[in-house]
Structure 1
Amino acid sequence: MGNKVIKNIIYISIVILGIILIGLNYLIYKNQMLAFHHANVIVSVVSVILVVLLWFINAKSKNNFGLLLIIIGITGMAGLGLYKMHNVVTTFEKMQNDGQKSVNVVKVIVLKSSSYYKISDLKDKKVQALNSDRQDINKVLTGKNKLTLQYQKGQVDLYHKLDHKDAAGIVLTSKSQALLKDTPVKDNKYRVIFKADVVDHVKKVLKTVNSPKFNVYISGLDTYGPISTVSRSDVNILMTTNLQTGKILLTSTPRDAYVKIADGGQNQYDKLTHAGIYGVQASMHTLENLYQQKINYFVKFNFESFTKLIALVGGVDVYNNQEFVSLHSKIHFKKGNIHLTSESALPFVRERYALENGDRDRAQNQEKVIRALIEKLSQSDNLLKADQIFAQISPYIQTNISLKQAMKWINYQIENHPKLQVETTALQGTGTMNLPSYAMPNSRLYMVQVNEKSLHEIQKEMNEILDNN
Structure 2
Amino acid sequence: MFNRRIFSLIQIIASIAFLITMITSGLFPVKYIIIFIIIFVVLVILFDKMMKPKKVLVAAPRHARGYKKVKKNGKRQLVGRVLTLLVSIFLFVGCFYVHTGSSTIATLTSSDNTITTRYNLYTLKSKGYNSVSDLENKTIANAGSFDSTDFNTASKALQKKISYQAKAFTSYQQMENALYNGEVDAILMNGYYETMMKKYHANFVNDVSAVWYTEMKETASSTAAAKDFSKDTFTIYLSGVDSRGGVTKTSRSDSNILVTINPKTKQILMTSIPRDYYVNFAMAQGAKDKLTHAALFGTINSMRTIEKFMGIKIDFYCRVNFEALVKIVDALDGIKVYSDKAFTPWTNHSVRIKKGWQTMDGKTALAFARERKTYTEGDRHRAANQQAVMKAIIKKMESPKILTNFSQLMSAISGLFQTDISTAQLRQLVNYQLDNNVDWTFSQSVLKGTSQKQLGGLLMPNTAIYYMTPDAKSILENATYITDMQAGKKITVSSDSSLASETDET
TM over 0.5: yes
Aligned to 1:468: 490
Aligned to 2:475: 455
The C-alpha deviation readout for 1:247-302, integer Å capped at 9, x for no partner, is 3221111123233433x446865432344344434433433444444433332211
CA distance in 1, matches of 2:87, 2:402: 23
Q: 1:233 to 1:199 in 2, by over 3 A?
A: farther
CA distance in 1, matches of 2:237, 2:209: 35
Query: How far 1:75 moved relative to its partner?
Result: 1.0
Q: 1:211 to 1:334 in 2, by over 3 A?
A: closer
For residue 468 of structure 1, what is the amino acid of its counterpart?
K
Say whether 1:19 aligns with 2:32: no
Query: How far 1:246 moved relative to its partner?
Result: 3.2
- 1:143-154 equivalences under 5 Å are 154=171
Aligned to 2:295: 276
SS of structure 2 residue aligned to 1:217: strand
Q: 1:58 to 1:363 in 2, by over 3 A?
A: same
Aligned to 1:143: none
CA distance in 1, matches of 2:191, 2:355: 39
**Is the contact made by 1:239 and 1:249 (CA closer than 8 Å) also made in structure 2?**
yes
Say whether 1:298 aligns with 2:320: no
SS of structure 1 residue aligned to 2:29: coil
Query: How far 1:452 moved relative to its partner?
Result: 1.6
The C-alpha deviation readout for 1:155-214, integer Å capped at 9, x for no partner, is 445775798899999999872144358xx5584898589899x99896476452352533
Query: How far 1:14 moved relative to its partner?
Result: 3.9
Aligned to 1:41: 34
Q: 2:110 aligns with which of 69, 73, 97?
A: 97
Say whether 1:84 aligns with 2:71: no
**Is the contact made by 1:300 and 1:397 (CA closer than 8 Å) also made in structure 2?**
yes
CA distance in 1, matches of 2:187, 2:449: 37
Q: Percent identity at matched positions?
A: 24
SS of structure 1 residue aligned to 2:387: helix
**Is the contact made by 2:334 and 2:359 (CA closer than 8 Å) also made in structure 1?**
yes
- 1:250-399 equivalences under 5 Å are 250-262=270-282, 264-265=283-284, 269-313=288-332, 315-316=334-335, 317-321=337-341, 323=343, 326=346, 336-337=355-356, 341-352=361-372, 355-377=375-397, 383-399=403-419
- 1:381-420 equivalences under 5 Å are 383-399=403-419, 400=421, 402-411=425-434, 413-414=436-437, 417-418=438-439, 420=440
Aligned to 1:144: none
CA distance in 1, matches of 2:233, 2:180: 54
SS of structure 1 residue aligned to 2:414: helix
Q: 1:24 to 1:306 in 2, by over 3 A?
A: same
Between structure 1 and structure 2, the one with the greater Rg is: 2
Give 5+ residue unaligned stretches, structure 2.
55-70, 158-163, 492-506
Query: How far 1:387 moved relative to its partner?
Result: 0.8
CA distance in 2, matches of 1:192, 1:387: 45
Aligned to 2:196: 179
How many matched pairs? 446
CA distance in 2, matches of 1:430, 1:354: 18
Give 5+ residue unaligned stretches, structure 1.
140-147
The C-alpha deviation readout for 1:308-353, integer Å capped at 9, x for no partner, is 3344445554304475762x65678667247655445444433445
- 1:420-431 equivalences under 5 Å are 420-431=440-451
CA distance in 2, matches of 1:15, 1:335: 52
**Is the contact made by 1:108 and 1:172 (CA closer than 8 Å) also made in structure 2?**
yes
**Which range moved further: 84-93 or 346-355?**
346-355
**Is the contact made by 1:233 and 1:255 (CA closer than 8 Å) also made in structure 2?**
yes
The C-alpha deviation readout for 1:35-77, integer Å capped at 9, x for no partner, is 4xx3332223433554566668778875465543332211111
Aligned to 2:501: none
CA RMSD of aligned residues (A): 5.0
CA distance in 2, matches of 1:353, 1:172: 36
**Is the contact made by 2:237 and 2:303 (CA closer than 8 Å) also made in structure 1?**
yes
CA distance in 2, matches of 1:85, 1:216: 26
**Is the contact made by 1:89 and 1:403 (CA closer than 8 Å) also made in structure 2?**
no
SS of structure 2 residue aligned to 1:295: coil
Query: How far 1:439 moved relative to its partner?
Result: 6.2
For residue 34 of structure 2, what is the amino acid of its counterpart?
V
- 1:86-125 equivalences under 5 Å are 86-97=99-110
**Is the contact made by 1:427 and 1:455 (CA closer than 8 Å) also made in structure 2?**
yes
**Is the contact made by 1:219 and 1:301 (CA closer than 8 Å) also made in structure 2?**
yes
Q: 1:44 to 1:304 in 2, by over 3 A?
A: same
CA distance in 2, matches of 1:193, 1:439: 19
Q: 2:255 aligns with which of 201, 220, 235?
A: 235
